[in-house]
Amino acid sequence: MGIILRSAGKALPEKILTNDELATIIDTSDEWIKSHTGISERRIAKDDERASDFAVKACEEALKNANNPEKDLGKSSPHKVVRPEDIDLIIVSTATPDFPCLPATACVLQRELGCTNAAAFDLNAACSGFLYAMDVACGLMERHNYKYALVCGAELLSKIVDWQDRGSCILFGDGSGAVLLENEQAVGEKITERGFTSFILGTDGTGVSALYGGEDGKIKMDGRAVYNFAVGIMAKTLMDLMEKENLSVDDVDYFLCHQANERILKAAGKRAKLPEEKIILNLANYGNTSSACIPMTLSSYIKDKRIKPGMTIVFAAFGAGLTWAGAILRT
């Protein structure tokens, strides 16, 4: 309680790769991809672009939005300006960091953003990574009494996709999303009912081989196995979270899940008996951007005011590992 969402931002590569273009490389069709996944197109980074190029832009937008009373969900009174040097913590969730081993991509962000007082590190829990990073950030903010944190998902999956494998390459895209968190207590605000409350984290390591980067560094996936796991675990995570806080479906404004595949989202929603109109679908133009898709979606929904102050959002994600995660946010 007391760690609130101030703002969000996103950044995407310019290049769009449509299903029709993909069908010129592999044996597939726009019709097959749309009907099996809900994806029409995805963004692809250039050869010389790195995860941090987009992560920096997403964080800059989050900072800018926090300082724009129109786009600041925090709505403190008087409005609190956040400067780069006020940021105490930067966490980047990524499976495709700038460098193969050292240093963390978050260190590049710290330099580029001028967040001279921030501790910075990366975290990899695959597509569940953003929610894992949110839980870690909330914990550290409470423990250290940090005022502000930037939590970012940044993924260039096009670099690790096997472009010959039609069963997986159609799914993924590149992008970055970021959020700015505020610790109400640390900034001297009255602690409200807003913010992140319950988190769920989980892993089933027996599923390592269902989705992994092979010896060649390219994604190998058992699509059916991942599909079945995803539907079950997302439905369970959403239901467990609602039970934990004694919420009914009517108490929730949106269910925001990892944007892997429209069919998975709809099937999980049906299994958990959730109304379709509350399940956010935001993958048609981006594909699966792994841990970037939840903050990217938050950014778009806050921008056009579909997410406003006073809402309750329940999150769930799953990914390689196999990992899963969930959270509840009151805006």
Q: Residues in the site for ligand COA, rule: CB under 6 A?
A: 28, 32-33, 36-37, 127, 166-167, 170-171, 211, 221, 223-224, 226-227, 230, 260-261, 264, 288, 319
Query: In the bound complex, what is the minimum distance in angstroms from residue 4's beta carbon to ligand COA?
Result: 28
Nearest to 38 by CA among 256, 285, 231: 285
In angstroms, the Cα distances linking 79 to 70, 128, 176, 187, 276 are 11, 32, 27, 12, 36
Contact 280, 253 (CB under 8 A): no
Catalytic residue among 59, 107, 288, 293: 288
Amino acid at 240: D
The residue whose two tokens read 């369970």 is 236
Nearer to ligand COA, 5 or 283 (CB): 283
Nearer to ligand COA, 125 or 226 (CB): 226
Nearer to ligand COA, 107 or 234 (CB): 234
Query: In the bound complex, what is the minimum distance in angstroms from residue 42's beta carbon to ligand COA?
Result: 13
Q: How far apart are CA 263 and CA 231, in angstroms?
A: 9
Q: How far apart are CA 140 and CA 22, in angstroms?
A: 43
Q: Is 288 a catalytic residue?
A: yes
Q: Is 79 a catalytic residue?
A: no
CA-angle at 239, arms to 238 and 242, nearest 5°: 90
Q: Tell how many helices (H) and how many strands (E) occur in the chain.
A: 8, 13
Query: In the bound complex, what is the minimum distance in angstroms from residue 168's beta carbon to ligand COA?
Result: 7
Catalytic residue among 59, 107, 115, 127: 127
Cα 53 versus chain centre, distance: 17
Q: Is 36 a catalytic residue?
A: no
In angstroms, the Cα distances linking 181 to 2, 112, 135, 146, 241 are 10, 19, 11, 10, 21
Nearer to ligand COA, 56 or 256 (CB): 256
Query: In the bound complex, what is the minimum distance in angstroms from residue 258's beta carbon to ligand COA?
Result: 6
In angstroms, the Cα distances linking 87 to 63, 108, 197 are 10, 15, 22
Amino acid at 156: L
Catalytic residue among 65, 107, 169, 258: 258
Nearer to ligand COA, 223 or 232 (CB): 223
Query: In the bound complex, what is the minimum distance in angstroms from residue 307's beta carbon to ligand COA?
Result: 23
Contact 96, 218 (CB under 8 A): no
Contact 260, 230 (CB under 8 A): yes
Residue, CB closest to ligand COA: 223
Nearer to ligand COA, 6 or 236 (CB): 236
Nearer to ligand COA, 74 or 153 (CB): 153
Contact 32, 26 (CB under 8 A): no
Query: In the bound complex, what is the minimum distance in angstroms from residue 100's beta carbon to ligand COA?
Result: 22
Query: In the bound complex, what is the minimum distance in angstroms from residue 292's beta carbon to ligand COA?
Result: 12
Active-site positions read 127, 258, 288
